[in-house]
Amino acid sequence: MKFPMKRIYLKFLLMAALLPFPHALAQAATDDTFTPANPPEMKPMANHDTPAYRTLAWFQRGANLGDYLEANRRWRQLEVSADEFVQMKKEGFDHVRVPIGWHQYAGPGPEFTLEPEIFAKVDFVVTNALKNNLAVMINLHHFNALDQNPTHATAEFLKVWQQIATHYQAFPPQLIFELDNEPHDQATTALMNPIYAQTIKEIRQTNPQRTLVVEPGGWGGIGGLKDLVLPPDDNVIVSVHCYDPFNFTHQGATWTSGQTPVTGIVFPGPPAQPLVPDPKLQLKDYQLSWIEKYNTLPADKNPSSPLAFTGKFKYLRAWSDYYGRPIHLGEFGAYTKADGQSRANFYATFRQAVEAEKLGWCIWDWSGGFRYWDKQNNAPMPGMRAALFGKTK
């Protein structure tokens, strides 16, 4: 099965729930005149020449090794060979983000001992990446217990990180740890703040100098930054995810709970011929209204255009500069149901807009459903090399 059940998750139900109130979120994310609004405990760092900023310089152009170690271990389909890291480096990537479902390999509490099998798999990825001069970010991905009941799952979260931290304590600084992918539901930013602080303290026992990465709640969304409170540790990078314009990037995705069933959406809009959605899809008003705008608004006002993200990156730049915290855009991308030319246009435009604000980026993904690399042809997907690296050879 191409999309195992685990991928049909509730990410987008939450987004749907927010739809009646999109204004508040949009406000936080797109307002060019940035006004700091975090709780008062979030003190700006005076010095911007911190270890976190220095590490971010190694994490500028990355690929997520998606659909691999985070996927359900029984259903997993992708494998990764040592050659792919050689290729990744040759293409121009400088880092790889490795989503990992460590919890799938944890024994019972209170120890939650991780099976050697997962360390062997991660060691293979980490050593091959480092050997090819690729920096590596490993994370904990799809740890749903934390999203459902953060207070209850904190003990396991801490134990898992203690073990990972001990295992990798002697590894070079180009290996960094991202504590949790896309906290959501009950794992709000406000609830995650103290959990992050506690976990950072724990990891610091064995890894005093390791760079750590945290994401806000709301699926690592930009809107969550306003609630973030980080401890005064100068070696923490903040990472956010952005899949806008969502109707374009997730068109035809089976795991978005019916939010994005309409395919044939191009980037940038408007389309040459208006898109007429199949009435059988029984679209809701907000979906029809988006399509209406997509069909009719000129390029500079179209919802399938850079307008969907450029203002957000300006906000990120301003937030980062104010708080003295470097930002990494850890996931963006478009599913392969979009046409190849539109995908290439999108990756190029998005990548350039991120770079214009001097933020690091990491595509979703290397060779999975949003792929850059076509394993069958041993080559990048058409147009993707030029889109990301401005070169064709």
Give residues in contact with ligand BGC (CB under 6 A).
Answer: 7, 66, 70, 182, 331, 364, 369
Q: Which is nearer to ligand BGC, 364 or 373 (CB)?
A: 364
Q: How far apart (Å, rounded) are the C-alpha atoms in residues 100 and 139?
A: 6
For 73-110, b/e burial (b = at least 16 CB within 10 A) is eeeeebebeeebbebbbebebbbbbbbbbbbbbbeeee
Shortest distance in whole angstroms from residue 121 CB to ligand BGC: 17
Q: Which is nearer to ligand BGC, 70 or 180 (CB)?
A: 70
Shortest distance in whole angstroms from residue 71 CB to ligand BGC: 8
Q: Which is nearer to ligand BGC, 240 or 388 (CB)?
A: 240
Q: Which is nearer to ligand BGC, 28 or 253 (CB)?
A: 253
Shortest distance in whole angstroms from residue 392 CB to ligand BGC: 27
Shortest distance in whole angstroms from residue 30 CB to ligand BGC: 21
Shortest distance in whole angstroms from residue 4 CB to ligand BGC: 10
Q: Which is nearer to ligand BGC, 45 or 187 (CB)?
A: 187
Shortest distance in whole angstroms from residue 196 CB to ligand BGC: 19
Q: Which is nearer to ligand BGC, 91 or 365 (CB)?
A: 365
Shortest distance in whole angstroms from residue 276 CB to ligand BGC: 26
Q: Which is nearer to ligand BGC, 313 or 335 (CB)?
A: 335
Q: Which is nearer to ligand BGC, 62 or 270 (CB)?
A: 62
Shortest distance in whole angstroms from residue 336 CB to ligand BGC: 11
Q: Which is nearer to ligand BGC, 313 or 370 (CB)?
A: 370
> H/E/C letters for each residue in the chain?
CCCCHHHCCCHHHHHHHHCCCHHHHHHHHHCCCCCCCCCCCCCCCCCCCCHHHHHHCCCCEEEECCCCCCCCCCCCCCCCCHHHHHHHHHHCCCEEEECCCHHHHECCCCCCCECHHHHHHHHHHHHHHHHCCCEEEEECCCCHHHHHCHHHHHHHHHHHHHHHHHHCCCCCCCEEEECCCCCCCCCCHHHHHHHHHHHHHHHHHHCCCCCEEECCHHHHCHHHHHHCCCCCCCCEEEEEECCCCHHHHCCCCCCCCCCCCCCCCCCCCCCCCCCCCCHHHCCCHHHHHHHHHHHHCCHHHCCCCHHHCHHHHHHHHHHHHHHCCCEEEEEECCCCCCCHHHHHHHHHHHHHHHHHCCCEEEECCCCCCCCCEECCCCEECCCHHHHHHCCCC
Burial (0-12, 13-18, 19+ Cβ within 10 Å), 336:
middle
Shortest distance in whole angstroms from residue 307 CB to ligand BGC: 21
